[in-house]
Chains A and B, each alone.
Chain A
């Protein structure tokens, strides 16, 4: 199965619902080790995105992802704005000229997005960040693709790896961002960024079965 423009739009709109539902969870996780605004910021960003799509929806996949990037950059105040903004910006470039996304294209979308986040945030795996969920997710997707998996299986593998990666952030000591102020006190808390990154992959897996 290949994805069309409407499937991508449906994913983005579903993310708005998912982040609204998990606003409190994300904000609480952030409260423990950050500044308690991650859920609020993502909720605001994706609400603004849906309002934008309602007003003025781009006709192609690249345009959709680009609009997502711009809206998040504009409306998500904290570090998540530029980070997820860059994710979608690079994802948009990866989809340039494509009307339909086959399985390898979807994996390439996530690869490019992850690459953007790594370059922007300069975080390595193990530093208690989004990368800890996204990097294993992308690796799992690449493996599954290599094994000839269907798109649904590929995304399922990605979501599962993201979830494991997210949970693995609990015993980690934060080395990036505001949570790093807490040093050893950040141990024992799940990273909010890794959690929102897991939701990003998980929602794709659910939407694009």
Chain B
């Protein structure tokens, strides 16, 4: 009988894994946990002597396999061997490989009577490394090609093993394209180690009874795309046919094909402007507001889960709007004094407030005109009893003048394959949400679809901004191929999200997540983020009557650091100003908070708040890889003054903190070489940078188009900042929506960005976008982009060089 010893840092985990393995062992395998240190005051860790005991307890086993979790568990297990007698040692084998999967596989194989060497090879992946099978003598031979987009991954490989084991013939497979193998077809890991991807050529060699039949069966199976459907050839680099297509703005990548359906917004129902009973009207308004707040909370939760908490912030801003005291007061006044009905009062108060809010600075509170409209509409809908977006009857392409963020949540994703917007820009919140959800969107089409009848077949490519109206057969076939390819790529991105991102020519880039909460950190790890690029700490400070104290902050930072399991955490110090007032700090009012005392300026003015935050950060930095990021730095003095504060706190806490500078105002770019001498890293924040550089508020529809991060003026500054960082041997991160656009990936790689920080759910796709880039080519591409004369031209260049498909 075979015995398994499970060595884990956690006693509970070791016992749990034994429990799991026991289910598959059917009583035919002996199991012994060796988890934890055995020291109650310090339970997490491993103890070689417990491993010795566990091995000793399996005296009835002919062979003992030891499985381990983390690095030092292996050290303990190896140390344990030194304490065993010769006899015992001869029976024990250490088994590298994943703990849980390994235990389950070992238990089931052992229960099936597999010899210990085979189990060891299978579990440790040694079979995969060796991957060499004796080529059968006098074989039948057949060459096949991998046709399915995901290649010979676990599911088809498992099928192959079953077929091969079911045949008396011996089968070995060699990957001729990658020169891997030959692998024995009866070993799953060996087959996976062939790394057979789409397009690879494999040689199958079989000998023995039934060899020919086996090869024929498998050749058919490979031809069918390993049972995963027809061939999806990578599309050619050539652009699709130009005829019959109209050009909009590339907004959210992806190909969609379907009948056109128009989103009709019903004309507002006429209501009596005045009402007899102000008391009743006030109650109606209150109910509608309450309902709208509830909906907003639900939208926040929805967006957090579906699109990441970064995106959910859109609805957070809307919730703030629905609590705005001036707005509520004005609406009540209109009802009580002017005797207006709730609908009319709300509409007037809301329009007035949205005008006032347009004058406010930071995007967080100012909420775009679109968002205010969205929140206001929700209240009106409550009053008038309006309903959700009607879902199309069949899968369709939705055409609308514009889409509000909450309407994106109402899109039935089985029925809405893609969206065409007549107005709207690629940086509208609704479009950003659609992008996070993976819905293809083309924006800014103008009246181009006005004459197209309902039900007409249309196809859109969100990466190039093209829309085909009633495409001919040939175009349609090509686009269908591209859609399948795009969907397969999405699946690959998800499957390889935990793998690092390397460009085709081997440059390693890091992809981290923007995080605003404790839950967000765990989500980021699950999405494959390699750390937190920006922890926005405002969540700890807003919506409360007293500043969070050092303990509370430290506990929050620690919880986040813990969730990251050793990955780096960059904490941005508080970024507020007069536009995001804190009730417990006298901020005064400013005519133009966007150019006022915000970011690091605020922190330096509110010194005790700043120190408390730094102390909390320093406390956590004694145990975790934590770095500090200073927002809105515009001159050297600010950095020096902040660093002087930090130095004092470092001394008290006995840590050394790395200090990074947000590059988000033009002066910081101009001073980048000097800042780089005194900082430890740069984080380029394009969302604000673009607005300051172009002197354009992206929430002001009249100038929003100017505030486009793809503008060569912005890109040149990004290049300057990266150069300055690299000359000082500092890394440069890019955070901001630009980083989250797969379209921008080659451009940013070409500009030399080292790390991307994006909303967690986008991590897999950004990694996949990076993997498609050739860094050397990307540098040339970026050089060309910088010479162009508009953002639109840059988008066109990028869309042409990296269509959704390629």
Contact = CB atoms under 8 A, between A and B. Distances in A.
Contacts of B48: 73, 81-82, 85
B622 A27 contact: yes
A177 B42 CA distance: 20
Contacts of B568: 182, 185
B437 interface: no
Contact of A86 (B9, B82, B625, B656): B82
Interface in B618-674: 621-625, 654-656
A32 interface: yes
Contacts of B503: none
A177 B73 CA distance: 11
Interface in B558-606: 566-568
B623 A35 contact: yes
B625 A32 contact: yes
Contact of B622 (A31, A76, A83): A31
B79 A28 contact: no
Given A74-B38, A181-B566, A185-B625, A79 B72 contact: yes
B163 interface: no
Interface in A149-192: 177-178, 181-182, 184-185
A209 to B, nearest CB: 31
B621 A78 contact: no
A2 to B, nearest CB: 28
A86 B654 CA distance: 31
A205 to B, nearest CB: 26
B39 interface: yes
A83 B75 contact: yes
Contact of A81 (B71, B72, B82, B622): B72
B715 to A, nearest CB: 25
Q: How large is the interface on B (under 10, 10 to 19, 20 to 34, 35 or more residues)?
A: 20 to 34
A44 B42 contact: yes
Contacts, number: 86
A77 to B, nearest CB: 2
A98 interface: no
A36 B622 contact: yes
A143 interface: no
A121 B75 contact: yes
A87 B106 CA distance: 33
Best-surrounded residue of B45, B78, B567, B731 (most CB of chain A within 10 A): B45
B533 to A, nearest CB: 13
A33 interface: yes
Nearest to A27: B622
A85 B46 CA distance: 13
A41 B42 CA distance: 9
A24 interface: yes
A79 B70 CA distance: 10
Contacts of B72: 78-79, 81-82, 177
A207 interface: no
Contacts of A85: 48, 79
A86 B655 contact: no
A115 to B, nearest CB: 13
B655 A120 contact: no
A85 B49 CA distance: 11
Interface string A20-58: 000010011001110110000100100000000000000
Given A35-B566, A70-B49, A81-B47, A182 B625 contact: yes
A178 B566 contact: yes
A32 B38 contact: no
B76 A82 contact: yes
Nearest to A121: B75
Q: Which of B621, B623, B654 has the largest count of A CB atoms less than 10 A from its CB?
A: B623
A77 B46 contact: yes
Contacts of A77: 9, 37, 39, 42, 44-47
A82 B50 CA distance: 12
B49 A81 contact: no
Given A70-B49, A75-B39, A79-B72, 11 more contacts: A31-B623, A41-B45, A73-B49, A74-B37, A74-B39, A77-B37, A79-B71, A81-B47, A81-B48, A178-B71, A185-B568
8 contacts: A24-B654, A73-B47, A75-B39, A77-B46, A77-B47, A82-B76, A86-B79, A182-B625
Interface of A: 24, 27-28, 31-33, 35-36, 41, 44, 70, 73-79, 81-83, 85-86, 89, 120-121, 177-178, 181-182, 184-185
Interface of B: 9, 37-39, 42, 44-49, 71-72, 75-76, 78-79, 82, 566-568, 621-625, 654-656, 731
